[in-house]
Amino acid sequence: MQQSRMKCFCRLLAMICAAAWMSFSSPVAEAAGENRQHTIAVSQFIKHPALDALLRGFMEHLESAQIPVKYVVHIANGDQALNESIARDIGAENPDLVLAISTPSSQACLKVLPNTTILFSAVTDPVGAGLVESLSKPGARITGMTDMSPIEQQIKLITGLVPELKTIGVIYNNNESNSVSLVRIIEQECARQGIGLVKKAVGNGKEVATAAQSLVGNCDAIYAPTDNTVVSVIESVARICAKHRLPLFAADVDSIPRGAVATLAIDYYSMGRQTGRMAERIFAGEAPSSMPVEWQEDLRIHVNTKAAEVMGVELPVDLLQAADVIYDSFPE
């Protein structure tokens, strides 16, 4: 316990330094003295490109809005115990706003911090996770953004690209409540579209490759949901899929250059900027209770031609036409 606190403290110091540099980079606001400097404690459950992009978008929006902010960033490395201890640390820091990125971080912060305003983001199912009572009327001091994937469209995209698709395989961490919620929705959607679903639950990142291997031959395509564990090792899944010419589809755009064929997804960077706008509104004095939970307005289609080639997916013109970004790279 003592050790993990030390680790946490070290990380904290590093973050403060980074934040200090960021605050110096907006000297105009400082000089004007119109805006008081705000303190934002960030609790991120795990480090992976989508969540990192979200945080980057958030910070860049506030920076472009010229709002001086001091950040204290905590990353739990996917460790639930550390996640809770981070929440307690944040309580001691007494920030103006807590930005909780991902469902576990949001849950821990809500449980541990009784009075602090919490802005969450990248939470798949805020109601199911017990964060808000309803999407339109969240709670007294909490609101945020859901990253609920457009699962219906995603599955349509997959069926459009894989002719004669009968079964989809899905890998998820059943310890992540957001993933469990997602899989439930995927199951319903597949049933509605008449597609079979093979679920492979894993406990950690090391089990993902084994799960992917076990899906080979049992499905016509693999769908990687916005599961933090799976997305963190998406390259290993991509390699297995390439070897067996099994198309891999992702639910986030950052997985596309990392080896997935295509996605129709939330752009986490955009979502970060949108979350930043919500923070801006809170700092402007708007009450979180009156701010409904927002959903990413912009869906993006990202395509990887190289991944499509190695996984044997023909990309029709209309998909390429609708694609916002086209990649041509595959992880070695």
Partner 1 sequence: MLRSIKTKVLLLIVGIMLATALILVYFTKRDVGEAVLGMEEKSIRNAMYLIKLNVENEYKSLLFHKIAMLTERKEQMKSLAAVVMAGINDYQQLAEQGRIAEDEAKRLALDSIQKLRDESGAHFFVYDEHSVVLGHPNPALIGQDLSSLKDVKGLSLFDSMLKKSMREGDGYASFSWDDMNTGNTTKQLGYFVFYPKWNWMIATAIQTEDLEQEAEKKLNLVIKELKSTFDKTQIAKTGYLILFNGKKEILIDPRNSADALLAAKDPSSGELLLDKFMAAAKHPEQPIKYLWDDPSNTEDGQSRYESYAEYFKTLNWYIVSVARESEIQAPAKTVVLRQTLFIAVIFAASILIAYFLVKGISQHLKKLTDHAKQLPAHDFSAPETELPKIEQLAVKYKDEVGKLAEAFLFMEASLQQYIQDLKETTAAKERIESELAIARDIQMSILPKLFPAFPERPEFDIYATVKPAREVGGDFYDFFFVDESHLFFALGDVSGKGIPASLFMAVSTAFLRASATRGVNLDEVMARVNTKLCAGNDTCMFVTVFCGLLDIRTGEVICSDGGHNPPLLIASKDGVDFLHARKSSALGVFEDMRYYTQEFVLKEGDALFLYTDGVTEAMNTEDELYSEERLKESILELRDRPVKDITREMIERIEEFARGAPQADDITMLVLRYTGPAS
Q: Give the residues lining the site for partner 1 (CB under 8 A).
A: 150, 152-153, 156, 163-164, 245, 264, 297-299, 301, 305, 308-309, 311-318, 320-322, 324, 326
If the CB atoms of residues 70 and 156 are measured against partner 1, the closer one turns out to be: 156
User: Do 264 and 150 contact (CB within 8 A), yes or no?
Assistant: yes
If the CB atoms of residues 202 and 279 are measured against partner 1, the closer one turns out to be: 279
Shortest distance, CB of residue 2 to partner 1, whole angstroms? 48
Shortest distance, CB of residue 138 to partner 1, whole angstroms? 22
- Which residues contact residue 17 at a Cβ distance below 8 angstroms, ignoring those fewer than 6 apart? none
**Burial of residue 298, with CB atoms counted within 10 A of its CB: 0-12 exposed, 13-18 middle, 19 or more buried:** exposed
Q: What is the Cα–Cα distance from 268 to 127, expressed in whole angstroms?
A: 20
Pairing of strands 97-101, 221-224: unpaired
User: Do 156 and 148 contact (CB within 8 A), yes or no?
Assistant: no
Would you give the distance in Å from CA 270 to the centre of its chain?
12
Shortest distance, CB of residue 10 to partner 1, whole angstroms? 39
Shortest distance, CB of residue 320 to partner 1, whole angstroms? 6
Q: What is the DSSP string of 62-90?
A: HHHTT--EEEEEEE-TT-HHHHHHHHHHH
Q: Assign 191 to helix, strand or coil.
A: helix
If the CB atoms of residues 105 and 305 are measured against partner 1, the closer one turns out to be: 305
How many Cα atoms are found within 13 Å in the side-chain-facing hemisphere of 28?
5
Shortest distance, CB of residue 168 to partner 1, whole angstroms? 17
Shortest distance, CB of residue 99 to partner 1, whole angstroms? 21
If the CB atoms of residues 180 and 291 are measured against partner 1, the closer one turns out to be: 291
Q: What is the Cα–Cα distance from 207 to 110, expressed in whole angstroms?
A: 30
User: Do 145 and 172 contact (CB within 8 A), yes or no?
Assistant: no
Q: State how far the alpha carbon of 201 is from the alpha carbons of 84, 173, 225, in Å.
A: 24, 5, 12
If the CB atoms of residues 318 and 332 are measured against partner 1, the closer one turns out to be: 318
Q: What is the Cα–Cα distance from 123 to 252, expressed in whole angstroms?
A: 13
Shortest distance, CB of residue 297 to partner 1, whole angstroms? 5
Q: Which of 296, 326, 301, 307 is nearest to 156 (CA)?
A: 301
If the CB atoms of residues 164 and 332 are measured against partner 1, the closer one turns out to be: 164
If the CB atoms of residues 114 and 163 are measured against partner 1, the closer one turns out to be: 163
Q: What is the DSSP letter of 127?
A: T
If the CB atoms of residues 132 and 307 are measured against partner 1, the closer one turns out to be: 307
Q: What is the Cα–Cα distance from 54 to 331, expressed in whole angstroms?
A: 23
Tokens of 105: 């971080």
Q: Which residue has the tokens 């990125």?
A: 101
Shortest distance, CB of residue 277 to partner 1, whole angstroms? 10
Shortest distance, CB of residue 317 to partner 1, whole angstroms? 5
If the CB atoms of residues 98 and 301 are measured against partner 1, the closer one turns out to be: 301
